[in-house]
Amino acid sequence: MGSRRVVVTGVGVISPLGMDVEQTWQALVAGRGGVGPITAFDAAEWPVRIAAEVKGFDAAAALGRRRARHLDRVVQLALVATKEAIEASKLDVASAAERAGVVYASGIGGLKAWEDGMRTLINRGPEWVNPYVIPMMIPNMAAGEIAIEWGLLGYNLCTVTACSASAHAIGTAFDAIRLGRADVMVCGGSEAAVTPVGVAGFAAMKALSTRNNDPARASRPFDAERDGFVLGEAAATLVIEEREFALSRGAPVLAELVGYGATADAYHITQPHPRGDGAVRAMQAALDDGGIATRDIGYVNAHGTSTAPNDRIETLALKRVFGDNVPPTSSTKSMTGHTLGAAGALESVFSILALRSSVAPPTINLEHPDPECDLDYVANEARPVELRYVMTNSLGFGGHNASLIFGQPLAEQDIALSLPRRGSSPA
């Protein structure tokens, strides 16, 4: 799609593992999980009492008390992650405002704002409903608030495709630059669905782990004793730019975004295709888009939800694409939980950091091998590995599939110094 190359110049994260990129990455490679008892509401009598929450986040301190009060947590997290990413990119937005845009995702949007509005409506009546309830709950508001905060005047939209939403946001932003519609894009996703309706809804589907008495070991992708995913919250943002534009301003270049594939299962609202057809086609499309051979992919960050069907079918799909040479593959959801619409962006950041540090993060809690999940999942400990290209997969409810491929910068002047470098210790 065009000849304009696209590079990543900044990343930002707030997650159950840490308040920024560095804290999150250090916890990830050390194999420290972020799952614990739910604190957002009283779940003491609930069938599911655990989640992967962002801990210690003070929205009033980060954004100001008045502003924070008028933003749902999903937007608060997005703004914090985006601030880190833009600062890391050293982007002077004013110099590129009309050619700078946003594609930002959420699978659900402002769920707490919606719950609070409904509670007020039922208990006190319509005249008491918060006038901010609609802008606080609609999923596109993170994209709008990011544009307002940094004066980004160009291409702007929101992708809402469940668990693949932020992978689609990155891919859509990638295409916007390749098509010449922008030079700079801020992209990623946020989710804050650890709320009564969020937990109750997924629990009613029997999608969540009920390992309440052992939360640290509850998220266990590819393990024979997995019993569902752990709901998580997070935000992750990437700044991506047309390569020549980035180099002309001396931007730090962390990686090159080289391939994107998006497909539909067209099969079932929650279950993946039994042979992984959509996932296979998404991975192959990303490889074809980047002109990358399967042998050149050194690591795959799997969707890896810790549910029985996903892990088995994604394993099958990887075998169909890579044959007998599936590269080391891990699920970082074993530590972050499943962050829904933020997952694709969060795991893209992890893939970029793996690429830069030559470290594959582990799948923790992999203690009882499932005979149907028989790949190298980097079990329990991070591993040094030389990487040229990495792939990350996102597979969402509704049959939405996305795969992204990131590569090492191709020229010495692309090398940045601000994040972990090749050869860094995994500890």
Q: Tell me the catalytic residues.
A: 163, 303, 338
Q: Which of 311, 310, 301 is nearest to 387 (CA)?
A: 301
Torsion of CA 240, 243, 247, 252, to 10 degrees: 30
What is the radius of gyration, based on Cα positions, of the chain?
20
Contact between 194 and 51 under an 8 Å Cβ cutoff? The reply is yes
- With a CB cutoff of 8 Å and minimum separation 6, the contacts of 351 are 299, 301, 390, 391, 392, 404, 406
Task: Please classify residue 323 by burial: count the beta carbons closer than 10 Å to its beta carbon, then call 0-12 exposed, 13-18 middle and 19+ buried.
Answer: exposed
Q: Positive or negative CA dihedral for 374, 377, 381, 382? A: positive
Cα 143 to Cα 7, 79, 88, 393, distances in angstroms:
21, 9, 19, 23
Q: Which of 34, 84, 2, 12 is nearest to 352 (CA)?
A: 12
Q: State how far the Cα of 399 lies from the Cα of 8, in Å rounded to an integer.
A: 28
